[in-house]
């Protein structure tokens, strides 16, 4: 019989070890930072260095947009808005009891072009930190933020709308085997003025607009944490993954060894009985 428990532990240990290596590598990449004083130096680096290798940048700053979205429920102004509506109800199961359940009624997402006014740090062959003034020209647009690690929207509004208790509604619910409780509406938003750190590839188009996007190879983060906090967290996770990998390896080896010993003893016992 195959020792599936031990093999599973060893495979999980290998996966955690690879995660630890990846997190540690990202932490080391973000540590190598050199400072640059002028925005035009970044433009020059994009003209020269990005033609050789992708230019990965770490950006810290505040969210801005020329066309912000006015949130309907929270009253906030944001650049990314997600709205969901869930119908909550009780349903009659086969055992004759009522259990609570929900169903998604609505899921909407809106996003407008947005930028950061910020400090920039570069990593790779040429790494730097740049202070950009918010004068309308020092803007770097962020593209594809929702696919980045660490990205999370703020809950701007969360309300529960009761379904009411009319006789007609109650009768219909009873015939359907349901008891409608209400609708839960949640509005999540990335508000204007939010402080973010973005790690990604810097590119510049023909008219000089700078964008930060997901690189083909390398880290991509959008997080409210500072770059130092990101580095610290990546280092902690790298160590945790490696410790967990070591523990699972030992435990997996123990299970495999135990299985092998029991199998050997069983085979020897059967041979003795046959004699």
pLDDT at 131: 41
What mean pLDDT value characterizes the chain?
Answer: 79
pLDDT at 13: 87
Nearest to 146 by CA among 222, 71, 205, 72: 222
For residue 231, give its domain range. 4-274
pLDDT at 270: 81
pLDDT at 152: 92
| Tens digits of residue pLDDT in 173-191 | 655 667 778 889 999 999 9
H or E, element range at 59: strand 55-64
Instruction: Collect the ranges in the chain with pLDDT lower than 50.
Output: 33-38, 119-121, 123-136
pLDDT at 234: 87
pLDDT at 252: 85
pLDDT at 186: 93
Look at the chain and report how many structural domains it folds into.
1
pLDDT at 2: 65
- List, in order, residues 6 or more apart from 257 with CB less than 8 Å away: none
pLDDT at 175: 56
Query: Is residue 232 within 8 Å of residue 31, measured between CB atoms?
Result: no
Q: Is the dihedral of CA 93, 98, 99, 100 positive or negative?
A: positive
């Amino acid at each position: 019989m195959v020792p599936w428990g031990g093999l599973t532990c060893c495979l999980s240990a290998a996966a955690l070890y690879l995660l630890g290596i990846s997190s540690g590598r990202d932490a080391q990449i973000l540590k190598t930072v050199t400072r640059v004083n002028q925005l035009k130096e970044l433009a020059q680096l994009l003209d020269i260095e990005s033609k050789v290798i992708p230019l990965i940048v770490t950006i810290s700053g505040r969210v801005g947009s020329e066309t912000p979205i006015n949130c309907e429920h929270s009253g906030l102004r944001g650049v990314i808005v997600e709205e969901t509506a869930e119908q909550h109800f009780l349903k009659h199961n086969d055992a004759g009891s009522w259990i609570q359940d929900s169903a998604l009624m609505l899921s909407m997402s809106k996003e407008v072009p947005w930028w950061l006014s910020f400090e920039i740090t570069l990593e790779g062959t040429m790494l730097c930190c740049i202070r950009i003034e918010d004068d309308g020209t020092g803007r770097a647009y962020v593209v594809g933020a929702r696919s980045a690690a660490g990205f999370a929207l703020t809950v701007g509004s969360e309300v529960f709308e009761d379904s009411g208790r009319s006789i007609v509604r109650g009768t219909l619910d009873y015939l359907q085997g349901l008891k409608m409780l209400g609708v839960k509406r949640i509005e999540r938003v990335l508000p204007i003025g939010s402080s973010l750190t973005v790690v990604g590839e810097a590119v510049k188009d023909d008219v000089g607009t700078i964008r930060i996007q997901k690189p083909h190879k390398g880290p991509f983060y959008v997080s409210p944490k500072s770059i130092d906090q990101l580095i610290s967290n990546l280092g902690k996770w790298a160590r945790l993954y490696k410790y967990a990998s070591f523990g699972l390896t030992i435990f997996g080896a123990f299970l495999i060894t135990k299985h092998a010993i029991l199998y050997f003893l069983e085979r020897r016992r059967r041979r003795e009985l046959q004699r």
